[in-house]
Chain A
């Protein structure tokens, strides 16, 4: 199971790297050009929709697989036998994957991504004491815009891929030993090929939508986070109040610490209650996730409208020359 997940994670990582590199050939990280350049790739370039869909779905797949890897190691209690660093790497893989998804989703500067990021950065800004400074660093200035996109692009295109690779390597060395029987090698190749075929097939059959361009003048009430953040979104709705950010932070940090120290906690006579708490946590996560999926935006019509690519996203005006006499 873990080796299959690892192979598919590696395939998604490679596919997103390849398609991401191809998109980066045309993408320009400014509010003026971001949407138009991606819309142009998607609508004018032959193969553009396929490459962008490949990117969207392989990143989505990577995050789903990273969730599954952590869940599997958790529920099979494999963390007790694993070296602690390997357990830590699988948790880190999920965190870095979520970071890649979040930074990447803002890059095309769509209405959906803009308002989603506005809300998320607003939450960040409410962190006690260091919040405002954190928000300024994340935005590059006091507002989400020109100064933000280059930062997100740098994180998404340079820093996070390297960190992800550095986290994947020890996991692969641990879960996919080089000395494998012929039969095992065959199975690995089969899983990998099936993974490539599946992502390519989805990209061909159900290409990714771009959605409407960011409209800074109209608040977008249908803004919802990407699916991978749905549990957090639901949680925040539940704890809303003056101290919501503080509670969220405490809860997330407690969950992180709990997971990291599980190999020591789940021992001897404490095993049973520890396991109970962990399983409750996992169930709560699944419930929050289901609630999030069922929580349709209040303005379904607006959401549908926002799913369409803005017409005339790029100007296809003929070139012009004007004369200026001396």
Chain B
């Protein structure tokens, strides 16, 4: 190693300057790269800010006091195009003038529940059970089936699907 021609103080100042310059360059490059990495945190950008709702034609789907399954085909915008359609069950009934819509997605781990002949719900994945009012009955699910917001007009029923982060 040849002896440094520069005095110690000057050498230290030099190293500091170079360090600052490289640090600045690294920061300037890292910020845009990290923004690309963190794009999924902006749900609006990924298409997850769009409201998901569906209009049921009541002439086609007459309501009774028995649960009736409706398959909801969800196709979201995902970043630059429409995602692969996802089918999600929901159950609808009208009991004493009250319209009820519950999600058919099990509150345990997201399997699709089945409507039993006796009007109760059964999740085949881990044997979770819900009663005829979609309330938790037995098994691992932590809570009742999720109720979906629904608004009725003359001919239609508008059902709003909650975002995953809204259901807890």
B50 CB to closest chain A CB (Å) equals: 4
Once the chains bind, are A321 and B36 in contact (CB under 8 Å)?
Answer: no
Q: Which residues of B contact A23 (CB under 8 A)?
A: 36
Interface string of A308-326 (1 = CB under 8 A from B): 0000011111111111111
Interface string of A2-44 (1 = CB under 8 A from B): 0000000000000100110111011000000100110111001
Nearest neighbor of B78 in chain A, beta-carbon distance? A319
23 example contacts (A-B, Cβ-Cβ < 8 A) are as follows A18-B33, A22-B33, A22-B37, A23-B36, A36-B81, A37-B80, A46-B32, A47-B31, A48-B36, A50-B32, A51-B36, A189-B21, A200-B25, A318-B50, A319-B51, A319-B74, A320-B82, A321-B73, A322-B72, A322-B73, A323-B70, A323-B73, A323-B159
Query: Cβ of A160 < 8 Å from any Cβ of B?
Result: no
Query: Cβ of A78 < 8 Å from any Cβ of B?
Result: no
Once the chains bind, are B11 and A314 in contact (CB under 8 Å)?
Answer: no
Interface string of B108-126 (1 = CB under 8 A from A): 0000000000000000000
Interface secondary structure of B, over-half rule: mixed
Q: Which of A101-109, A149-157, A178-186 is the interface stretch?
A: A178-186
Query: Cβ of A196 < 8 Å from any Cβ of B?
Result: yes
Q: Which residues of A contact B73 (CB under 8 A)?
A: 321-324
Once the chains bind, are B25 and A325 in contact (CB under 8 Å)?
Answer: no
Interface string of A174-204 (1 = CB under 8 A from B): 0000010111001001000100110010000
Within the assembled complex, what's the spacing in Å between the Cα atoms of A169 and B53? 57
Once the chains bind, are B77 and A317 in contact (CB under 8 Å)?
Answer: yes
Query: Cβ of A45 < 8 Å from any Cβ of B?
Result: yes
Query: Cβ of B39 < 8 Å from any Cβ of A?
Result: yes
Q: Which residues of B contact A44 (CB under 8 A)?
A: 45, 80
Within the assembled complex, what's the spacing in Å between the Cα atoms of A179 and B6? 16
A15 CB to closest chain B CB (Å) equals: 7
Within the assembled complex, what's the spacing in Å between the Cα atoms of A323 and B79? 24
Within the assembled complex, what's the spacing in Å between the Cα atoms of A47 and B58? 48
Interface string of A297-314 (1 = CB under 8 A from B): 000000000000000011
Once the chains bind, are A315 and B71 in contact (CB under 8 Å)?
Answer: no
Q: Which residues of A contact B56 (CB under 8 A)?
A: 323
Once the chains bind, are B75 and A321 in contact (CB under 8 Å)?
Answer: yes
Once the chains bind, are B1 and A182 in contact (CB under 8 Å)?
Answer: no
Once the chains bind, are A320 and B75 in contact (CB under 8 Å)?
Answer: yes
